[in-house]
Amino acid sequence: MLSTLLVGQSNVGTTSAAFLDIGIGARSLSMGGAFTAVANDVTALYWNPAGITHISRPSTHFYYAPWFADIDFTHGAAVVPMGRMGTIGIAITSVTMEEMPVRTLQDPEGTGELFEVSNLALAATYAKKLTDRFSFGLNLKLVQEKIWHMNAGGLAVDLGSLFVTKNSGVRIGMSVSNFGGKSAMEGYDTEVDYDVDETIYGNNDKIDAHLNAMKWPLPLVFRAGVSKDLIQSDIYKLTLAGDAVHPNNNVEYLNLGFEYIFRDILALRGGQAFLGMEDSKQGLTLGVGLNYQIPRGPRVTLDYAYRSFGVFENISGYSLN
C-alpha cells in the first residue's frame, strides 16, 4: 500500500487585483493587521465594515506608504454617522508608479515610448447596529487595474459583522473581503493579425483578431478576530487582538497585536503578522500614535507604522485622522 503525503498549496499568483491584499492604516498595520475585532476607526472600512457603527462623529482618514520598487500606495476614506439610519462611508485606494520606458527585443534600450501602471479601488459602505451589541456592514467596490493599453475591472463586495459580549467586553469580528467575479486584461495590446489557414496560398493572412486573456478571481479573504481591552482606566488602556485569516491565494495564518494608550494622547503598538506562513518575509510590526484635541475643533491623530520584511526593504506607513 502506498501512502501519500498531502502538502498544502499556497496558490500564490492565482488571483487578480493583488493590490487589494495590501492592508491600510498605520494603526492597524502596526498591530500586525489584527484589527477585525478592533475596527473602531475609519480603517474599519477595509478590515471590517461593521466597525464604522462605533464611530460617533464624521471622520476622515488618509494613509500613505512608499511600497516596494518605487511604488506609491495611498488610501483615503471618510465616514459619516446618520443616527438610527446607520453609518455610511466612502474610500479610495490607489497604487501608482512613475512612467517607465517601453522595451522590446528589437529595442532593448527603449522605443522612445513610455508606459504606466496603476490600480484603483473605489468603495461605498453602509453599516448599521442591529442591536446594542451586534452590527453589520457592507462594502460595494469598483476595482480597476491598468497597464499601458490594457485594463481589467469588476465589482466586489465586502461583508462584516461585529459582536460585543455583555459582561466580559470581548469583541468578536468576522469579515469576507473581495467577493466577486473573475477579471481579465483587455485592450489594444491583445490585437493580432491572424492567418486562418496557413496551408492555403494567397488567402488573407492578416485577419484582425485578438487574444483572449485568462480570467482570474479576486483575492478572496475570510477573517475572524477577537479583541479585548485587558486593562482600562482614566490614565491608560491596553488592548490585545488576534485574527485568523483564510485567503484563497495563500495558506492560512494568524495576526497578533497590542495597543497601549497613555492618557488618550500617546499610543504604542506592536504585533506579528502572517504567523504560520512559512514563506512569509514579514516580521515584527511596530508603531506609535499621537492624539490631539484642537480646542473648539476636530481631534487629530497622527500614526506611524514600521514593518520588517526580512531580506527586502522595510516599509513605513503614515496615517492622518
pTM: 0.88
**Alpha-carbon distance values, 299 to 49, 62, 221 (Å):** 22, 14, 33
pLDDT above 70: residue 8: no
Instruction: Give me the amino acid identity at 271.
Output: G
pLDDT at residue 2, as a whole number:
38
Residue 125: pLDDT band with limits 50, 70, 90: very high
Buried b (16+ CB within 10 A) or exposed e, 200-232: eeeeeeeeeeeeeeeebbbbbbebebbbbeeee
pLDDT, mean of residues 279-285: 78
Contact by Cβ (8 Å): 302, 276: no
DSSP string, 131-142: SSSEEEEEEEEE
- For residue 308, how many other CB atoms are within 10 A of its CB? 16
Residue 314: pLDDT band with limits 50, 70, 90: confident
pLDDT above 60: residue 5: no
pLDDT at residue 6, as a whole number:
42
Mean pLDDT of the chain: 90
Q: Write the DSSP symbol of residue 295.
A: T
Q: Write the DSSP symbol of residue 47.
A: H
pLDDT tens readout for residues 21-40 = 999 999 999 999 999 999 99
Whole-angstrom Cα distance, residue 54 to residue 39?
8
Contact by Cβ (8 Å): 239, 38: yes
Percent of the chain with pLDDT over 90: 63
Buried b (16+ CB within 10 A) or exposed e, 1-34: eeeeeeeeeeeeeebbbbbbebbbbbbbbbbbbb
Question: Checking DSSP bridges between strand 315-320 and strand 59-66, what pairing results, if any?
Answer: antiparallel
Whole-angstrom Cα distance, residue 97 to residue 70?
7
pLDDT at residue 10, as a whole number:
65
Whole-angstrom Cα distance, residue 238 to residue 269?
10
pLDDT above 90: residue 141: yes
Query: CA geometry: angle at 256 spanning 254 and 258, to 5°?
Result: 170
Joined grid coordinates for residue 188:
489594444
pLDDT tens readout for residues 218-262 = 999 999 999 999 998 989 999 999 999 999 988 999 999 999 999
pLDDT tens readout for residues 151-200 = 998 999 999 999 999 888 899 999 999 999 998 888 888 888 877 777 77
pLDDT above 70: residue 4: no
Coil vs helix vs strand at 29? helix
pLDDT, mean of residues 294-302: 92
